[in-house]
């Protein structure tokens, strides 16, 4: 065990986060996200017993967001006509605002197909047990100054 590191961050995930360089991306996928197929060229870390908010909060304690891009945090936009509500996004924005001085303006949205394309190029995918719909989130790593 280490002091100051959230207990939810396993040695495997800490290694992945440490290996990532500036500009690398990581996906925190909900329980419906096809982590293994989208992440077939990435490192997939299974965290099925955890929700996306608790994983995001822990990751943001050790992971700097990229300051050289407008939206280092990306959400999958709800498909037109899909009656799904996304209250989890507000929780995400609050967590990002605690970790980044840009606040919720660091969070952007992208079309579903664009999200999947970006996710296929991610360094890693975290598969959670999150049950909320459209709860997938993409983070781009910044630098530690």
Tell me the sheet residues that pair with 46. Answer: 127
- pLDDT of 1 reads 76
Whether 125 and 29 have beta carbons less than 8 Å apart is answered as yes
Active site residue 66: yes
pTM of structure: 0.96
Active-site residue, from 30, 50, 66, 68: 66
Going from N- to C-terminal start, the domains of the chain cover 22-140
At 30, which helix (H) or strand (E)? none
Please state, in angstroms and rounded to a whole number, the distance separating the CA atoms of residues 141 and 138: 10
Active site residue 134: no
The sheet with strand 25-29 has its strands ordered as 43-47, 124-128, 25-29, 137-140, 73-76, 107-110
Active-site residue, from 24, 50, 71, 116: 116
Exposure letters 87-126 (e unless 16+ CB within 10 A, then b): ebbebbbebbeebbebeeebbebbeeeebbebbeebbbbb
- pLDDT of 2 reads 84
Whether 138 and 29 have beta carbons less than 8 Å apart is answered as no
Specify whether domain 22-140 bears CATH 3.40.1650.10. yes
- pLDDT of 145 reads 83
pLDDT per residue of the chain (145 residues) written in tens, 0 to 9: 789 999 999 999 999 999 999 999 999 999 999 999 999 999 999 999 999 999 999 999 999 999 999 999 999 999 999 999 999 999 999 999 999 999 999 999 999 999 999 999 999 999 999 999 999 999 999 999 8
């Amino acid at each position: 065990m280490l002091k100051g590191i959230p207990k939810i961050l396993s040695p495997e995930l800490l290694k992945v986060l440490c290996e990532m360089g500036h500009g690398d991306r990581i996906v925190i996928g909900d329980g419906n996200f096809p982590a293994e197929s989208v992440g077939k060229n990435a490192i997939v870390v299974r965290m099925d017993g955890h929700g996306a908010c608790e994983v995001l909060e822990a990751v943001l304690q050790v992971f700097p967001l990229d300051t050289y891009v407008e939206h280092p945090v990306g959400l999958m936009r709800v498909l037109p006509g899909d009656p799904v509500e996304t209250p989890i996004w507000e929780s995400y924005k609050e967590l990002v605002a605690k970790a980044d001085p840009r606040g919720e303006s660091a969070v952007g949205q992208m079309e579903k197909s664009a999200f999947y394309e970006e996710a296929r190029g991610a360094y890693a995918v975290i598969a959670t047990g999150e049950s909320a719909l459209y709860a997938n989130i993409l983070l781009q790593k910044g630098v530690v100054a």
